[in-house]
A = this chain, B = another copy of it.
Amino acid sequence: MNILLTNDDGINSSGIYAMAKALQSLGTVHIIAPDRQQSAVGHAITLSTPLRVTKVHLDSELYGLAISGTPADCVKLGVSTLLDVKPDLVVSGINHGSNTAINILYSGTVSAASEGMLMGVRSMAVSLNSFDHTVDMNPAAEYAAMIAGQYVHSPLPLTTILNINVPPLPREEILGVRVTEQGQGAWNDHYDKRTDPYGRDYYWLAGDYEPSITNINTDDRALKEHYVSVTPIRFTLTDHEHLSALSSLQNIRI
């Protein structure tokens, strides 16, 4: 099996390294990842500048290709151009920080998986619910590799990707896997207004995410209850339920 591994924290992050090591039990791991931190880039792709590719050694045996672009760029360039074979699986992660609820929309990690899906490859995103850069990534990597091994043989359509979130706990405190729904949390956005050394104002985003822990079996609830969350997601966005609410517009001509 050929696996394309990418992320949004950059090729030198601890998350992608742990994920690569765990995925080697499943097949050949091709690392193609951004050359630097790309968090919150969403599904950005690079059109106005060219992409550079640099070979980077992660240890004495493992190397990858660092791309001067976004996570979605890495998957697009990797699958279309850099890899000799079409991968059987795209894995994006392990991200520092969860990607649950609406954060899926902002997430570079998830967008790399959705780009894999758009290119016809089974794809999954993996995130650890911690911003601590010394946290042990190995339990998350092992759970994700186990899930990947089952996912490649599952009957899921290629248009559905897996969004995996893992609580930042020692292996023995993780209670197992839960198949979940996307939660309903929201951000309380606020911007710090500051003044630079030249007297000019600037604004810096400083919002707080508030997960909504309901009775529904959501991604955020699984994390809170010490489970690994696995959410199948797909990007068929039409709100069929409300097409008829727009019937007054149908056939209007001005």
Chain A residues within 8 Å of B, Cβ to Cβ: 37, 39-48, 50-53, 72-73, 76-77, 79-81, 102, 104-106, 111, 114, 118-119, 142-143, 146-147, 150, 154-157, 160, 162, 171, 174-179, 181-182, 186-187, 189-191, 193-194, 200-205, 230-240, 242-243, 245-254
Contacts and interface: CB of A to CB of B under 8 A. Distances in A.
Given A190-B80, A235-B105, A154 B204 contact: no
A212 to B, nearest CB: 13
A251 B178 contact: yes
Nearest to A142: B254
Given A40-B47, A42-B41, A45-B106, A238 B246 contact: no
A182 B252 contact: no
Contacts of A181: 238, 240, 243
Contact of A44 (B41, B203, B235, B239): B41
A47 B39 contact: yes
A143 B254 CA distance: 7
Given A72-B106, A235-B237, 18 more contacts: A39-B47, A40-B44, A46-B205, A76-B191, A80-B190, A154-B248, A157-B242, A162-B246, A171-B254, A177-B251, A177-B253, A179-B249, A181-B240, A230-B249, A231-B238, A232-B238, A233-B239, A234-B237
Nearest to A205: B47
Given A80-B190, A111-B42, A237-B235, A230 B246 contact: yes
15 contacts: A37-B48, A40-B45, A41-B44, A42-B43, A51-B203, A52-B201, A52-B202, A79-B189, A118-B186, A119-B189, A178-B251, A179-B247, A181-B238, A182-B237, A232-B239
Residue in A43, A48, A102 whose Cβ sees the most chain B Cβ within 10 Å: A43
Most-contacted residue by chain B among A143, A155, A189 (CB, 10 A):
A189
Contacts of A234: 237, 239
Nearest to A45: B40
Q: Which of the listed residues A37, A194, A231 has the most CB atoms from chain B within 10 Å of its own CB?
A: A231
Contacts of A171: 254
Contacts of A236: 182
A79 B190 CA distance: 10
A251 B176 contact: yes
A202 B73 CA distance: 13
A-B residue pairs, 7 tightest by C-beta: A42-B43, A176-B253, A42-B42, A50-B202, A233-B237, A232-B239, A181-B238
